[in-house]
Amino acid sequence: MSYLISPYAAIDEGDNTLIIAAAHVLGATLLTHGLRVSTVESCTGGGIAQAITEVAGSSAWFDMGWVTYSNAAKTQLVGVPAELIAQHGAVSEAVVRAMAEGARQASGASWAVAVSGVAGPSGGMPEKPVGLVWMAWAGPQGTVAEHSYWPASRAVVRCQTVYRALSQLNTLLLASAGHAPVP
């Protein structure tokens, strides 16, 4: 059975209940369809992989994860061209797409999720304010990217990003499998 989880939720700082629930639902969907996922994270510092591995049995559907906090790590570990980072910046659609595609290729997983953002409290600029996060999901039919903006504390930005990355991956998996989700 496949379940659709709310793509957005208000998550309070320090409350990971919804995040872990999203990881459980994602795991069930991946397991049902015989798929595996990998992660490549910047602003969440491994939070997506941590949420996934909170689920007992996640080794059946979680392949590997990278924390690519520096630009050099993005280039060295998942093959993001340095020129792409120089041209667009680490927090951009082009870079998260390259991160997700590089992670999927390097791991051989069915799907990969990538996130890069400005979690704060400093580091923001007018065109890339604190709270801006780019996310991408690479799968068999291609790559989807989106950005979100959460004008909140660092902890909330990171928690919201982890939740959105997990919930949107579940939604994309259901759509690509052609299954109607059960609300």
Q: What are the tens digits of pLDDT across the range 69-116?
A: 999 999 999 999 999 999 999 999 999 999 999 999 999 999 999 999
Q: What are the tens digits of pLDDT across the range 105-145?
A: 999 999 999 999 999 988 888 889 989 999 999 999 999 99
- Give the chain's length: 183
Query: Cβ(68)–Cβ(113) under 8 Å?
Result: no
- Of 155, 183, 178, 149, residue with least CA distance to 19: 155
Q: pTM of the entire structure?
A: 0.91
Strand order in the sheet with 142-149: 62-67, 37-41, 111-117, 132-139, 142-149
Domains in the chain with CATH codes: 19-176 (3.90.950.20)
